[in-house]
Amino acid sequence: MKVLVVGGGGREHTLVWKIAQSPRVEQIYCAPGNIGIKNLANCVNLSVDDIKGLADFAETNSIDLTIVGPEAPLVAGIVDEFEKRGLGIFGPSKAAAQIEGSKVFSKELMKKYKIPTAAYRVFDRFEDAITYINTAVVPLVVKAEGLAAGKGVIIVKDRDTAKAAVKDIMIDKAFGASGARIVIEEYLEGPEVTVLAFCDGKIAVPMVSSRDHKPIFDGNKGPNTGGMGAVSPASAYSSELAEVVEKNIIQRTIDAMASEGIPFKGILYTGLMLTKTGPKVLEYNCRFGDPETQVVIPRLKTDLIDIIEAVINDNLIHTKIEWKDETAVCVVMASGGYPGPYEIDKPINGFDEAEKKEAVVFHAGTAAKNDKIVTAGGRVLGITALGKDIQDARQKAYEAVSKINFDGMHYRKDIGLL
């Protein structure tokens, strides 16, 4: 079997790493990939947004299965284009990907089908949003409606900050067209949990839980990022809670999408807040999370290709999915200044020593230059380790982290402690 993975970050490196373990796969391609992925796959110089180019490549090279990592091509309709050509692809249709592509769509879906979430208001005029903020109870959460690379959600603790956030999104166009409409939500409190689920349009099979650490600094301080690390399982997510979430949130969401005539096939990412009144949905994504994938997929025992084929063939109900009992921790090593402006082309040292430890180094923002591996993004590396418990996994991950260095590097020291 020939497989094409679309994307070039830490999530895609993790997927390629897992797919390479399948005895059914003879060749892996990755577009565009990164310097770490090159050890496992043939990297193809195609952008994730070049849907026609990707489909042409899959057609020309007789690719049996394409797996899409990032949200942008899914929201743009890559699955529709591939299916129109009779090409095998894993992910939701353009219509189903609205669940991430439009926060207004997802909030209205939850309201209609009584899926628990935060109370909210939608605004397409700046003045109306400001008028609402003048009397709203703070704190609040301000969200750009569309895709914003994980940075379009702003928690605001007072009205002045809320107004500044709305101006940033709607007037100053911090996220471009994604901020033409905004959602303002009530602020929820409690532990956060992420649950990814395989979905075939009819049923959802949840994966093991995880928890992302989004703020840039220790103690969950500072602005949100795409994710500074993750752990699996999430300590606050009991088996009793899992039953409630699977029935009242995840499966209800899949049923809702089917009722709307847009069945969801692929990966449903459900971000949850475990509030005092029960679990509530913070957000949906239409694909594998990053860095959640880096802790969930290493715990997967079952061949990922078998599961993906079951999803495509509407046969998930007959597929047995097994997981390792171990705990996983991923620590993200980022460029100095991230999530704001940062420099690239900083040489990275210490890979050989890090890889001697009991951890896997997943590349995210890396490139090759003058025979050296250099930084090429905000989030540079994700170091993942498995252990018998959280302490064991943390120790292994941070031992590997300690062997790597590059100018300006930054990472959180408390992944898994909160």
pLDDT, one tens digit per residue, over 127-168 is: 999 999 999 999 999 999 999 877 788 999 999 999 999 999
Of the residues 264, 297, 318, which one is the last residue of a structural domain? 318
Evaluate whether residue 336 is within a structural domain.
yes
Pairing of the two strands 229-232 and 211-212: antiparallel
The reply to whether 308 and 334 lie within a common domain is: no
CA 34/CA 15 separation, integer angstroms: 13
The reply to whether 378 and 392 lie within a common domain is: yes
* Residue 325 burial (C-beta neighbours within 10 Å; 0-12, 13-18, 19+): exposed
User: The domain that contains 71 carries what CATH number?
Assistant: 3.40.50.20
pLDDT confidence of residue 292: 98
Of the residues 137, 161, 186, which one is the last residue of a structural domain? 186
In which region does residue 111 sit, left (phi positive, over 0), alpha (psi from -120 to 50) or beta (all else)?
alpha
Evaluate whether residue 111 is within a structural domain.
no
Across the chain, which has 418 residues, the per-10-residue mean pLDDT values are 97 98 98 96 98 98 98 98 98 98 97 98 97 96 90 91 96 94 96 97 98 94 92 96 97 98 98 97 97 98 98 95 98 96 96 92 95 96 98 97 97 94
- Tell me which residue range forms the domain holding 81: 2-90
The reply to whether 288 and 214 lie within a common domain is: yes
Q: What would the pLDDT profile of 198-207 be if each residue is shown by its tens digit?
A: 999 999 999 9
Evaluate whether residue 59 is within a structural domain.
yes
The reply to whether 244 and 150 lie within a common domain is: no
The reply to whether 204 and 302 lie within a common domain is: yes
pLDDT confidence of residue 53: 98
User: The domain that contains 353 carries what CATH number?
Assistant: 3.90.600.10
The reply to whether 165 and 237 lie within a common domain is: no
The reply to whether 246 and 303 lie within a common domain is: yes
Evaluate whether residue 340 is within a structural domain.
yes
User: The domain that contains 130 carries what CATH number?
Assistant: 3.30.1490.20
pTM above 0.85, yes or no: yes
Produce one character per residue of 190-224: b if its CB has 16 or more CB atoms within 10 Å, e if not.
eebbbbbbbbbbebbbbbbbbbbbbbbebeeeeeb
- In the chain, the number of structural domains is 4
Evaluate whether residue 104 is within a structural domain.
no
The reply to whether 334 and 299 lie within a common domain is: no
- Would you say the C-alpha torsion 59, 60, 62, 64 has a positive or negative sign? negative
User: The domain that contains 311 carries what CATH number?
Assistant: 3.30.470.20
pLDDT confidence of residue 272: 98
Using alpha carbons, list the distances in angstroms from residue 159 to 129, 156, 162, 165. Answer: 11, 8, 5, 10
Residue with tokens 């007037």: 171
Evaluate whether residue 95 is within a structural domain.
no
The reply to whether 199 and 277 lie within a common domain is: yes
Of the residues 73, 90, 107, which one is the last residue of a structural domain? 90
The reply to whether 251 and 217 lie within a common domain is: yes
Evaluate whether residue 304 is within a structural domain.
yes
Coil, helix or strand at residue 117: strand
Check if the beta carbon of residue 224 is closer than 8 Å to that of residue 151: yes
The reply to whether 233 and 146 lie within a common domain is: no
Evaluate whether residue 107 is within a structural domain.
no
The reply to whether 207 and 294 lie within a common domain is: yes
